[in-house]
Every structure is written in structure tokens, then in C-alpha cells.
Chains A and B, each alone.
Chain A
Amino acid sequence: MYNEKVMDHFMHPRNVGEIDNPDGVGQVGNPVCGDIMKIFLRIQDGRIEDIKFKTFGCGAAIATSSMVTELVKGKTLDEAMQISNKAVAEALDGLPAPKMHCSNLAADALHAAIEDYKKKQQTSK
């Protein structure tokens, strides 16, 4: 059902965990639909210096969360905002069709975390 790359990220997820006092936090999904993704960011000079995730969900939800953290670590915020859910799925060499809508939300969680960071920046100015 899942390809080897997805299974690799499911079994050996990268950047799992939380960041203490993160610069930005984003969460998407809800327990009702069975997927929750939470992304924590540490931002330094407009770049993602560190990123961690926690996910409740299926194999695809965990693998996409892992992949998005790998894709954007070290990237600028603008570059990170360009990453789409589709790009995450492609980086995993594809997901089964039913998973494309329900569990492919990792980029949305990332974008929510970046928006959270930007909002915090504005209020602290």
C-alpha cells in the first residue's frame, strides 16, 4: 500500500519531538478525522534553524510530517512557504490516492507555524 520511502519515514521519522519556547507553532487536523499534525519552529535570521513535529495519525500523516521537516530545515521562510502538500507527497515518491486529501496536511501545518511566527513578530514590534 505504501512505498518504501513512505515506510522508511514512518518507521524512522526525522525530527520528531517538540522545541521548548518555539518561535512558531502550527497545528492542523482534528481528532474527529483521525489526523493531527503539530509543527514547532526555531527561526534564526529568517531561516528555519530547527523544526520538530508531533503527529497523531496514519502512516501517511506521520511520513508527510517527517518529510516536510526534512524539506525545509535550513530554508528561508519564503522558500518554506512555497512547499505545498503536493510537493511533500512527491518527495515521498507518492501516496496512495485516498491519502492525498485526508492525511497529506504537513505543509499546511508548516505554513500555520510560519504564520504563527510572523504574527508573534508583528505583536512584539
Chain B
Amino acid sequence: MVLATEVVDELYRIRSERGKGFMRRVYLDHAATTAVHPQVLQTMLPYLQDQFGNPSSIYSWGREAKAAIENARAQVAALINADPAEIIFTGSGTEADNTALVGVASALGHKGRHIITSKIEHHAILHTAEDLEQKGFQVTYLPVDGDGLVDPEDLKKALTPETILVSIMFANNEIGTIEPIGQLAQIAKEHGVLFHTDAVQAVGNVPVDVKELGVDLLSLSGHKIYAPKGVGALYVRRGTKIKPFIHGGAQERKFRAGTENVPGIVGLGKAAELARLELPERRAHLIELRDYLIEGVLGSIDHVRLNGHRTCRLPGNANFSFEFVEGESLLLSLDLAGIAASSGSACTSGSLEPSHVLLAIGLPHEIAHGSLRLTLGRENTKEDIDYVLSVLPDIVNRLRAMSPLAPKGGLSCV
């Protein structure tokens, strides 16, 4: 059997051989998505063919599928120290975020119409919050400091008797900063306000314990942790007042209608189990590579800054701003060298504005345009980082030589 990835590999090989010979390929965009873990794929395959039943059916095919979902629910619950009954499977992390905000707003809108979130949330939260504003809710967007941290004092000041929900992300998808979620959730709790966290980037990468943190709702996504795309989950603490977001059948105890994505859910379950078992090693591996990458870049290129908190950051996240160059040009150049990365420049955000996260941490527009995010994963090696460090300085230098913003006479690499 020829896998699609092998076809792509072959195409890249042919393309690169026409050019400069065999090209190394390094995937450094794990915050965007990850490859399905081989063990996850193996666990999923039966549910695409022999065990294809609808979990709502009463005969054996249905019962087998139902049992598989319940097994996955227990696996996901174990990863975040929840009870299986507190896990609702969704179609994505975005759907989990939408469900949390809209579901709480629907359930508690009669009690109060104020929601608090932050300026650096994922668009799944921000755009949902903006939509709720259109529907008469008031939303406070908390600022962050230069490292991207929310100040708990700001949350205390923003709470009003009208506040029904606080939603602050566990870790930022762009700059990797990890927020003081336990502290923030505690403040919300003291005021009797529900607390949601978008933990899509954190789960599987850092320990997440919903009981210890004291959060009421938590979103996670499959394809960030080596499960397939199209599956996520929302943790809803028992007793939390929330209404369904998607209506229809009685799936997920009438909370999320629609025939379950059984293979996806089984895959998420297996991925969660692997993440739980491998977490300490994965985390140590990523931190080692990340710090090697950060030190290598800061040590070999001038006029560069690390975005996000130096230590309170995701194990696999490195985000830099290179002065005098633009992010898309960096991405194109890296792609030609076989390296997959991401940027917060306007050209890559699909608008004229650079990333809202980089602006929120106080970067001027031109510095925000020159950002580069490299996010590491379980299959990356030190050789991958060495390769990046061997090509990145030349790429930055080439673009700077073309830039009217760079000081005349050029910049020397250290």
C-alpha cells in the first residue's frame, strides 16, 4: 500500500532533485497540526471498516462502536484527571470553544450578560465573543504584558455582578506563553463565576489536571496531539450550567447532536492515552530541542527577539521576530529549504493586520510582520534543529540585504 505521505515525499524528492539535489524536510509547525501517531492509526482502522456501526444502534455493530467511544472517553478523562461523564466529544477544538461560550451564555444569560476573556485568545474564542457582543452581551478583553501573561489583578478588577463566564487560554498558540490558569480560575470561583480555558495547545504537552486547576470547562483538540483532524472534546465539570450548541439527536447524552465520529474519537482516546503515558519524556525532549533552537537562533542572528515568556512557555514553541524582514518571505524561503513554519505577518493572517497576539504584547507593526513561529513535535531531532540553524541565518541575511529598512552596510551575523 502506498500512503499519501509517500506520494508527497516522492513529489518533493523529484522536485528537489531537479533543483539542488536531495532536500531535507523538517516539519516545525506542530501547533498547526500533527501527524497521526502510528499506534493511533492502528487503533482507528477497525472503526472505519469492520466495526463501522452507528453507536446509537442497539445491535452488536452499534454496541461495539458505543463501547469504543466510552473507552475513548475514559482515556481522554484520564489525561486531564476528569471523570469520563464530564467529557463531551466535539468536531474540533473550535467547536468546543464555541460550545463553552455560547452554551454558558445561553444557560446563564438571564443571570448576567458580561463575559471576560483576553486579547490574545484564539479566534475560536475571540470571534465567538464578538458574536455574543452582537447579541447583547458585554465582553471585556483583558490585556497582557510584554510576555503575553494575563495579570490576575486585572481579572479581579474586571469582574462585575453581571459576569457569568471567564475564558482564558491555557497556553497561547502563537507565542507559547502559559497563563496562570489555576490562579485565574480561583479568582473566578471566589466570585461564583464559571471559568473556561482553551487548552488546545497545552493538553498533551504539559500536565493538565482539571481538579487541581479548578476549571469548570476546558477545550482540547485531537489533531494537535497526534490524533486525526475533525475531533475535539469539551470538559464540562459535573453540575456546570450550560446548554447544547448543536441540536438534533440524543448523542453525547443529548449535549452534542450528530452521529459520533467513531474512528476520530477512538483516535483521540488512544492519542490521549499515549500522551498521558509519554508526557514526561515528550516534554523533556521538546524542551531540550526548543532551548537548543532558541539559543542557536539568538546566538547566530542579530536584531532578533524571542516572543513570549522565556520559561512559562509551551515545551515545543519558539517564536522570533527578525527585524527588517517580513514573515511570509521567511516562510517561502524556509519552505524552499524544506522547512515548514508559520508566521504572524499580515500576509499569513489573511488580513492587512499582523497577528493580534503580537500587537497585544506591544510589538510595533513592522516587528510583528517579521515573526516566525517554529513548533516542535515528538518526531523532531537535534539534527532537524541543526539543519534549521544552518539555513536560517543565510535566509534572514538575504532578505535583509533586500530590505530598505535594514541599516546601510548590512548586518553581520554574530
Contacts and interface: CB of A to CB of B under 8 A. Distances in A.
Contacts of B401: 16
Contact of A58 (B336, B345, B403, B405): B345
A18 B327 CA distance: 23
Interface residues of A, number: 27
Interface stretch (B46-54, B251-259, B347-355): B347-355
A61 B402 CA distance: 11
Interface in B310-349: 324-329, 332-333, 336, 345-347
Interface SS, B side: helix
Contacts of B350: 98
Contacts, number: 69
B404 A59 contact: no
A54 B105 CA distance: 51
A58 B329 contact: yes
Contacts of A36: 404-405
B276 interface: no
Contacts of B403: 54-56
B337 to A, nearest CB: 11
B277 to A, nearest CB: 39
Interface of A is mostly: mixed
B404 A38 contact: yes
B402 A59 contact: no
B365 A56 contact: no
Given A11-B336, A34-B346, A34-B347, A57 B366 contact: no
A52 to B, nearest CB: 11
Given A10-B332, A56-B403, A56-B404, A32 B326 contact: no
A72 to B, nearest CB: 19
A107 B404 CA distance: 17
A37 B404 CA distance: 8
B335 to A, nearest CB: 10
A31 B345 CA distance: 11
A16 B401 CA distance: 8
